[in-house]
Amino acid sequence: MTTTPDLTAAVVAESDHSHHGYITDKDKYLNRLRRIEGQARGIHKMVEDEKYCIDILTQISALTSALEAVAVGLLDDHLRHCVVDAARLGGAEADAKITEATQAIARLVR
């Protein structure tokens, strides 16, 4: 891809880490994380109150699913913004962002 210096500067500015892809959904993520914190506290209380094991495991499964949903959303935002911006520039930065995303996906699927 051939770019003009002005376009290259604009893409570099967009890929700056001061503006992450999730920023437009920040409030949504914070609300989800607050609910997840509440779920974790609820599980803690269930263990303290010696609730039935299967009920605790069910809540842990729900908590795990909620965390995975946040992770997949953040990954999607990362791919659509940070990785796409780096790919437009090409070169070492693009390779690094793709490797970083691949490693993040590998951690999520373990």
Q: What is the pLDDT of residues 16-25, one digit of tens each?
A: 445 676 777 8
DSSP characters for the chain?
----HHHHHHHHHHHSTTS-GGGGGHHHHHHHHHHHHHHHHHHHHHHHTT--HHHHHHHHHHHHHHHHHHHHHHHHHHIIIIIHHHHHH-HHHHHHHHHHHHHHHHHHH-
* pLDDT on residue 74: 93
Rounded to two decimals, what is the model's pTM? 0.73
**Domain segments of the chain: what residues?**
24-109
Region 24-109: CATH code: 1.20.58.1000
Residues of the chain with pLDDT under 70: 1-19, 21
